[in-house]
Amino acid sequence: MQKLTRSDLYSLERYAEVRPEFRARVMAHKRPRRVALGEHAALYFEDRLTMQYQIQEILRAERIFEAAGIEEELEAYNPLIPDGSNWKATFMIEYTDADERQAALARLIGVEDHVWVRVGDMDRVYAIADEDLDRETEEKTSTVHFLRFELTPEMVVAAKAGGMLGMGIDYPGFERSIDSLPADTVSSLAADLD
């Protein structure tokens, strides 16, 4: 999947004009790309469009219009765009209650290394987590992790052909799994692959 460049982005003025329509399109696109893994964890699969939206929103919020600032955001977010042989996802640990969240983060150190995907009946592929920086301490993990699932060529072919996709977490005491994802999710994720 092609990385974003400055020419792919709207100017701040133009983005203000198209934002409602663009945002609606992105939200519809993101819907099948969210996979809930139980009540308190979810994978948000990223791609070129989700990253363009993320960058546009940051540029808008921070009023960044100079070339150097735009390039800085592109450098930060382009690595989250799939490379054709992988899926990239933001893994979120989601608790609304602050005390419950703190207890879970202390208990779930290393959970990001136990998140997996499976294509058909092939072996599980475990996430390569947080390549940009370590997101946990000895006391707790983070609520947000960035994951890459690197697929074999056979898995890519099977996924693009509409093969069954499963996902889960095998962290002791926090096990979750989905044997078969909905067709719209499978189709959306297959589009990330070359």
Residue 155: CA atoms inside 13 Å, Cβ hemisphere, count?
Answer: 20
Residue 182 in this model has a pLDDT that exceeds 80: yes
Which backbone phi and psi does 83 adopt, to 5 degrees?
-100, 5
Percent over 90 (pLDDT), the chain:
95
According to the model, what pLDDT value does residue 105 have?
Answer: 96
Distance CA 63, CA 74 (A): 15
| pLDDT tens-place string over residues 76-126 | 999 999 999 999 999 999 999 999 999 999 999 999 999 999 999 999 999
What is the domain extent for residue 75? 6-190
Answer yes or no: is 123 within a domain: yes
Answer yes or no: is 73 within a domain: yes
Answer yes or no: is 169 within a domain: yes
According to the model, what pLDDT value does residue 131 have?
Answer: 86
Confidence of residue 137 (pLDDT cuts 50, 70, 90): confident
Helix, strand, coil shares, percent, the chain, to 5: 45, 20, 35
**b or e along 63-87 (b: 16 or more beta carbons within 10 Å of the residue's beta carbon)?**
ebeeeeebeebbeebeebbbeeebb
Answer yes or no: is 161 within a domain: yes
The least confident of 58-62, 85-89, 129-133, 187-191 is 129-133
Answer yes or no: is 1 within a domain: no
Residue 132 in this model has a pLDDT that exceeds 80: no
Answer yes or no: is 62 within a domain: yes
DSSP string, 155-175: HHHHHHTT--EEEEE--TT--
Answer yes or no: is 114 within a domain: yes
According to the model, what pLDDT value does residue 136 have?
Answer: 77
3-state secondary structure 2-63: CCCCHHHCCCHHHHHHHHHHHHHHHHHHHHHHEEECCCCEEEEEECHHHHHHHHHHHHHHHC
Structure-block tokens of residue 97: 């209650």
Whether pTM exceeds 0.85: yes
Confidence of residue 134 (pLDDT cuts 50, 70, 90): confident
According to the model, what pLDDT value does residue 135 have?
Answer: 76
According to the model, what pLDDT value does residue 168 have?
Answer: 98
Distance CA 45, CA 186 (A): 11
Q: How many domains are there within the chain?
A: 1
Answer yes or no: is 151 within a domain: yes
